[in-house]
Amino acid sequence: MFNKKQLMVTLQIIVAVLLGLEVAIPPNPYKMPLILSMVVLICLKHDIPNKIMETLMEWLFKWKGEDETR
């Protein structure tokens, strides 16, 4: 299983390769994979999935607690 650091390095290499291909080939065939891989890399770097899960769980339990008090 990959840990976060290994996954980050792998994604950084993929982004670098896609960026190199994007510059080398004129009609920009790799723009969507490049954008997607950069978004995933940014999300992992700033721990976005865990922050979303924490916010949703907090909201869900807060909402569920208010519903039980009625």
Residue extents of the structural domains in the chain: 4-69
Host H or E run for residue 60: helix 48-69
Query: What is the distance between the alpha carbons of residues 45 and 8, in angstroms, rounded to a whole number?
Result: 7
The per-residue pLDDT string of the chain (70 residues; one tens digit each, 9 = 90 and over) reads 778 889 899 999 999 999 999 888 888 888 999 999 999 999 999 999 999 999 999 988 887 666 666 5
Predicted TM-score (pTM) of the model is 0.71
Position 67 scores a pLDDT of: 61
